[in-house]
Amino acid sequence: MPDRPHLVRAVKGTRDLLPPGTLLWQRVEDDARQAFEAYDFKEIRTPILEPTALFARSVGVDTDIVSKEMYTFEDRDRESLTLRPEATASVVRSCLEHGLLADGGIHKLYYIGPMFRRERPQKGRYRQFYQIGAEVLGSDHPLIDVEVIEMLESFLRGVAKTGVGEFNLLINSVGCGRCRQEYVKLLRRELEPVKATMCGDCQRRAETNPLRVFDCKVEADQPVIARLPTILDYLCPECRQHFEAVTGELSRRGIAHQITPRLVRGLDYYTRTTFEITSGALGAQNALLGGGRYDGLAELLGGPPAPGFGFAIGEDRLVETIREASRSIAGTPDWEEDSLHIFVAWMDHPAGIASNDLARELRAKRLKVALTYEPMKLKKSLGLANRYHARFAVIIGEQELASGCYQVKDMKTGAQQEVKREEVAAYLQERLGA
């Protein structure tokens, strides 16, 4: 006997999302669409595969994402391609490529889809993960920052009815090209005498891109980092005014936020506002989402100036926090309930034909229907109906065929009712509220 070939498994750091778990994913995505559309966002879908240069130029070559986490390969024609590690750069590329920004208006776009980063897999961190994000292009008005954060807040509170529980909004400004340049010079000077005590990455960053030192996760470097000057103290008057406008209006709208001067976020394209929402329910990987303003990104990608603001929610983590939050609420959340409407039970062959016809009619009315493909004893059929959590069973045997009346059994109460064949669909629709 030849050896059985070994089982092929999913790639490390990727995972299968299976039913019924996918019910919550669908629910989250439906709710996001609704919440974003209320703010006049429209969906954009860009390719997962992009030219590598897109991310090198926007996210930045000194960032962890570009320097060590991208899935990059050479295509057959030698072009360097990358599985997108994030989608903001793609959205801006797409808008520029299609001339969307040429009308001088404001464009609000959202996306939902997989991203790829070759990070060390752990709870809450995957190599293929999903983001739900939105971008506003065409204006640097501080009210855009506030409106988007307000939209996020209301979405997080109500998503999947449960919401995500407690969360914290951390906010900072990383300044503009001008004031950041001055600050980075200062940072470089401050790092000079201490960098030798820091990790290899930080020593490199201190030379090439000092702001990235704030991304360092090495424990021993943290006291040094904590003593570095923060950009908030070096903002130019325009950036300061912008930041005060954002935080002032957040306060006026009653949106709690924590000014966090060391929040620079791990991507180079950010300017002015950067923010993150964290949740205690997530443990070590506690960032639920992150975002900010990127007023120079369109130009970095070869386009005309087009300021932008956006965020990306980690959908894997969002789903996790909702599950966590739902544990403290009584009752089964509706995204956990298996919701088969009707099970059609039949006992012998002529009834099989009638059962399939009835199932087809009910399904055309978008009721969820299951039935067996082989005849089955009534008791066994009803057992299956129970196992599938069907709300109703329709029983069709020889007698029912002869009389033209089917038995409809309410699986919750056990009550059974005879219903004329042609009235079965209307009868069930009414009772199911469908």
- Nearer residue to ligand AMP within complex by CB, 126 or 346: 126
| Under rule CB under 6 A, residue 312 binds ligand AMP | yes
Q: Binding-site residue total for ligand AMP (CB under 6 A)?
A: 16
- Nearer residue to ligand AMP within complex by CB, 110 or 129: 129
> Closest separation between CB of residue 199 and ligand AMP, Å?
20
Binding track, positions 342-371, relative to ligand AMP; x by CB under 6 A: ------------------------------
> Closest separation between CB of residue 44 and ligand AMP, Å?
17
> Closest separation between CB of residue 124 and ligand AMP, Å?
6
Residue pair 93/105 in contact (Cβ under 8 Å)? The answer is: no
> Closest separation between CB of residue 130 and ligand AMP, Å?
8
Binding track, positions 51-80, relative to ligand AMP; x by CB under 6 A: ------------------------------
- Nearer residue to ligand AMP within complex by CB, 17 or 220: 17
The secondary structure of the chain, three-state, reads CCCCCCCCCCCCCCCCCCCCCHHHHHHHHHHHHHHHHCCCCEECCCCCEEEHHHHHHHCCCCCHHHHHHCEEEECCCCCEEEECCCCHHHHHHHHHHCCHHHHCCCEEEEEEEEEECCCCCECCECCEEEEEEEEEECCCCHHHHHHHHHHHHHHHHHCCCCCCCCCEEEEEECCCHHHHHHHHHHHHHHHCCCHHHCCHHHHHHHHHCHHHHHHCCCHHHHHHHHCCCCHHHHCCHHHHHHHHHHHHHHHHCCCCCEECCCCCCCCCCCEEEEEEEECHHHCCCCEEEEEEECCCHHHHCCCCCCCEEEEEEEHHHHHHHHHHHHHCCCCCCCCCCCCCCEEEEECCHHHHHHHHHHHHHHHHCCCCEEECCCCCCHHHHHHHHHHCCCCEEEEECHHHHHHCEEEEEECCCCCEEEEEHHHHHHHHHHHHCC
- Nearer residue to ligand AMP within complex by CB, 126 or 183: 126
Q: What sign has the CA pseudo-torsion 211, 214, 220, 226?
A: positive
Binding track, positions 402-431, relative to ligand AMP; x by CB under 6 A: ------------------------------
> Closest separation between CB of residue 285 and ligand AMP, Å?
7
| Under rule CB under 6 A, residue 210 binds ligand AMP | no
Q: Which stretch binds ligand AMP (CB under 6 A): 38-46, 239-247, 309-317, 371-379?
A: 309-317
Q: Taking CB under 6 A as the criterion, which residues in 81-140 touch ligand AMP?
A: 86, 117, 119, 125-126, 129, 131
> Closest separation between CB of residue 119 and ligand AMP, Å?
5
Q: Taking CB under 6 A as the criterion, which residues in 239-298 touch ligand AMP?
A: 266, 287-290
Q: Which residue is nearest to ligand AMP (CB)?
A: 314
> Closest separation between CB of residue 81 and ligand AMP, Å?
20
> Closest separation between CB of residue 315 and ligand AMP, Å?
8
> Closest separation between CB of residue 370 and ligand AMP, Å?
35
| Under rule CB under 6 A, residue 314 binds ligand AMP | yes
- Nearer residue to ligand AMP within complex by CB, 221 or 320: 320
Contact partners, residue 126, CB within 8 Å, separation at least 6: 13, 14, 15, 119, 316
Residues lying near ligand AMP in the complex (CB under 6 A) are found at 86, 117, 119, 125-126, 129, 131, 266, 287-290, 312, 314, 316-317
